[in-house]
């Protein structure tokens, strides 16, 4: 049986959207897939040593809020100072209580399983990001490098 390949582009840098790339990549590698994640634009936040990701109910009507309050809570008030910090803290507590892994743990599991993590060089330059702020063992490359692997992949996801 040939090894299957999974290519993922991670473009989002919020706490909620950080999960799908790492969950899918770590699971795929457990199933024997060769896996690569290409991090571009806000997705690069997921490669920082110190993850400081947030989740916000602002502009996100599908996000469940405590006690079903998303059904009546005025949208405008989700922009209030402190809402983001409060929802982020509640989301993290909820995840821990339900046995959902931390992002740091999932990312480490990906690296242990030899999932290749690639940082988009263009984005690093664009936002003047400090390459030493990223975790060890990642690669810096461009779109052509992504296609080299994605072109042979069985599954290719844009997240």
Partner 1 sequence: MADFDQELDASGLNCPLPILRAKKTLAGMEAGKVLHIIATDPGSVKDFEAFARQTGNELMESKEEGGKFLFLIKKV
Residues that bind partner 1 (CB under 8 A): 23, 26-27, 30-32, 98-101, 109, 113
CA 103 to chain centre: 8
Per the structure block, which two tokens stand in for 51? 């993850």
Question: Taking the complex as a whole, how short is the minimal distance between the CB of residue 109 and partner 1, in angstroms?
Answer: 6
* The two three-digit tokens of residue 5, written as one number: 């390949």
Pair of tokens at residue 68: 């079903």
Q: Which is nearer to partner 1, 33 or 146 (CB)?
A: 33
Cα-based distances in Å from 36 to 9, 16, 41, 109: 9, 20, 17, 14
> Smallest distance from the beta carbon of 91 to partner 1, in angstroms?
14
Q: In whole angstroms, how close is the CB of 4 to partner 1 at the nearest point? A: 9
Measured from the CB atom, the residue of 87 and 109 that comes closer to partner 1 is 109
Q: Which is nearer to partner 1, 31 or 76 (CB)?
A: 31
Stated as kind and residue range, the H or E segment containing 110 is helix 103-112
Contact 23, 157 (CB under 8 A): no
Q: 10 vs 44, which CB is nearer to partner 1?
A: 10
Tell the smallest beta-carbon distance from residue 26 to partner 1 (Å).
6
């Amino acid at each position: 049986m040939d090894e299957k390949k999974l290519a993922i582009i991670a473009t989002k840098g919020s706490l909620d959207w950080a999960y799908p790339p790492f969950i899918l990549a770590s699971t795929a590698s457990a199933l024997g897939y060769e896996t690569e994640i290409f991090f571009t634009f806000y997705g690069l936040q997921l490669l920082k040593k110190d993850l400081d990701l947030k989740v916000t109910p602002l502009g996100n009507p599908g996000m469940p809020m405590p006690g079903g309050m998303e059904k009546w809570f005025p949208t405008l008030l989700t922009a209030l100072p402190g809402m983001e910090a409060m929802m982020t803290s509640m989301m993290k507590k909820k995840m821990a209580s339900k046995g959902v892994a931390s992002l740091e743990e999932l990312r480490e599991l990906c690296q242990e399983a030899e999932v290749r993590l690639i940082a988009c060089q263009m984005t690093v330059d664009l936002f003047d990001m400090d390459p030493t702020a990223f975790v060890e063992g990642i690669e810096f490359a461009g779109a052509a490098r992504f296609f080299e692997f994605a072109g042979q992949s069985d599954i290719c996801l844009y997240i």
